[in-house]
Amino acid sequence: MRNPLAGYADPVRRPRFIVWTAVGVILLVTVLIGSLAGTSTRWFCNEVCHVVHYDNARQYEASTHSNVSCLACHIPANLDGIRFTAEKAEKLPDVWEVLTNTFHLPLNEASYLALSMPEVQCTQCHSMANRPATPSEGIVIDHAVHSEAGIACAVCHNRVAHAQVEELTLPGNAYYEEFMSMTACYRCHTLTGDSPSEFVATGECAACHTPGFELKPPSHFEPGFYTQYGDSRGHAELANAELEKVAAAEEYWAEVGPKLRDKKPKPISRLLRIPHGEFLDLPPVAAVDECGTCHVRDTFCDGCHTLEMPHPANFTEQHAALGDADPESCALCHNKTGDPALNATSCDQCHHPAGNPRQPWLAQHDDAARATDIRTDCYACHEEIFCSVCHVRGVKPSRY
């Protein structure tokens, strides 16, 4: 006789299937939620997963944000559950770089995260409406103006969650620049209207400093920084160091800048439209000439020196004629006697070391010439016929 239940599922097994399916779903959800919760703790970020951030983790522990979850800043704010899970899953490929030690250093090159972090990452905790700003003494900061211009908090406060207090240990890692310095402000602020960034703001002192604030930096009070007709090596060394620093930073930014500008969100973020902020194309702080934050080189420096500074490469071929035409200009730097009356003889301090720069050279050159080797000392600058022009013809010769 044919079994009427043939071809149908065992009625006893059907409830078991439903039960085990439910158990599996519950376990899967539990594991998923537990994984999301566990991997979202600052302990997991710093001690388990992100060993590549060892240097940054130590700096984070020393910061004022050490009790704030890493995800509060590094996961876009106000995500729903689906996009939050997707954002976490998108970072799974990074595990391979950690395990194989192939991650790129320095991390977060050129503070890319700070330059692309939306303001809401900070304002979700810090409300400027009920939290008074407390800038340093003598400083005036209008946060509302910056916010309206699209300058997010981290563009200036880039080190607030990773205080730069520890020595770096990872090979190839590098310190981040401090965006809270006055030099960093001049990535937007300018004395000339020619800003190195897409933003232009005034660079006048009164815009950011209170009356009576000491505007000169400590370096300007160091001995030897500048003394008229005296030791002034300090300001020259500082100016030259700034020019070298700026040139190196511009070369670096020419290489790194295009790569940062072309960075795009990962595929899942683009698909789900997870907001990661827009990159603000601000050059490195080192690309800003610190001297230029107070002085316009074309008018201040060249206006004092009256010629190009530092001297151009072919200056040695021209400087004799320049010295003859305007010895006062040379004396600005080269008369170290303290006596402006000797400006005209300032060249003698280098070219006639056997003489006394405090006395006219013509009256002492005969004794000096007798005490030196004319062929190696005098003829190093003068043609051999130079002496005979005066001694034989009785005509004052040119410098050569």
Structure confidence by residue, pLDDT tens digits, 268-325 = 888 888 888 889 999 999 999 999 999 998 888 888 888 888 888 888 777 877 777 8
For 250-267, write each residue's pLDDT tens digit.
999 999 999 999 988 888
In-domain check, residue 327: yes
| Ramachandran bin of 210, using left for φ above 0, alpha for ψ from -120 to 50, beta for the remaining angles | beta
- Mean pLDDT for the stretch of residues 118-141: 86
Residue 3 has a pLDDT of: 56
13-38 helix and 81-89 helix, angle to the nearest 10 degrees = 70
Please indicate, yes or no, whether residues 282 and 330 belong to a single structural domain of this protein.
no
Please indicate, yes or no, whether residues 147 and 256 belong to a single structural domain of this protein.
yes
In-domain check, residue 398: no
For the cut 90, the answer to whether the pLDDT of residue 38 exceeds it is: no
Please indicate, yes or no, whether residues 254 and 387 belong to a single structural domain of this protein.
no
- Mean pLDDT for the stretch of residues 2-6: 55
DSSP state of 188: T
In-domain check, residue 77: no
Please indicate, yes or no, whether residues 120 and 204 belong to a single structural domain of this protein.
yes
Please indicate, yes or no, whether residues 185 and 331 belong to a single structural domain of this protein.
no
**What is the pLDDT confidence band of residue 400, given thresholds at 50, 70 and 90?**
low
Show the DSSP H helices in 39-117 as ranges.
Answer: 42-44, 54-61, 71-74, 81-89, 94-100, 112-116
- Give 357's Cβ-side CA count (13 Å radius): 21
**What is the pLDDT confidence band of residue 374, given thresholds at 50, 70 and 90?**
confident
Residue 355 has a pLDDT of: 75
Last residue of a domain, one of 239, 259, 293: 293
Please indicate, yes or no, whether residues 208 and 353 belong to a single structural domain of this protein.
no
Residue 15 has a pLDDT of: 74
Last residue of a domain, one of 258, 293, 328: 293
Residue 353 has a pLDDT of: 73
CA distance 341 to 142: 51
Please indicate, yes or no, whether residues 252 and 322 belong to a single structural domain of this protein.
no
CA distance 157 to 122: 10
In-domain check, residue 43: no
In-domain check, residue 302: no
Structural domain tally of the chain? 2
Question: 271: exposed, middle or buried (C-beta count within 10 Å: 0-12, 13-18, 19+)?
Answer: exposed
In-domain check, residue 192: yes
Closest CA to 53 of 113, 118, 105: 105
CB atoms within 10 A of CB 91: 15
Please indicate, yes or no, whether residues 118 and 225 belong to a single structural domain of this protein.
yes
Residue 85 has a pLDDT of: 85
List, in order, residues 6 or more apart from 303 with CB less than 8 Å away.
none
- Mean pLDDT for the stretch of residues 76-82: 89
Residue 165 has a pLDDT of: 83
130 to 72, 84, 127, 157, 220: CA distances (angstroms) = 20, 29, 6, 19, 40
Residue 96 has a pLDDT of: 84
Residue 152 has a pLDDT of: 93
CA distance 354 to 370: 10
Q: Give the rounded percent of residues in the chain with a pLDDT score beyond 70.
A: 94
Please indicate, yes or no, whether residues 209 and 280 belong to a single structural domain of this protein.
yes
For the cut 90, the answer to whether the pLDDT of residue 364 exceeds it is: no
- Mean pLDDT for the stretch of residues 94-123: 87
For the cut 60, the answer to whether the pLDDT of residue 127 exceeds it is: yes
Residue 4 has a pLDDT of: 56
Please indicate, yes or no, whether residues 175 and 254 belong to a single structural domain of this protein.
yes
Last residue of a domain, one of 261, 293, 325: 293
For the cut 80, the answer to whether the pLDDT of residue 133 exceeds it is: no
Please indicate, yes or no, whether residues 166 and 257 belong to a single structural domain of this protein.
yes
For the cut 70, the answer to whether the pLDDT of residue 398 exceeds it is: no
What is the overall mean pLDDT for the chain? 84
**Residues of the domain holding 185:** 108-129+138-293
In-domain check, residue 362: yes
315-325 helix and 327-334 helix, angle to the nearest 10 degrees = 110
Please indicate, yes or no, whether residues 343 and 279 belong to a single structural domain of this protein.
no
CA distance 159 to 163: 6
Closest CA to 265 of 119, 96, 83, 55: 83
Count of residues making up the chain:
400
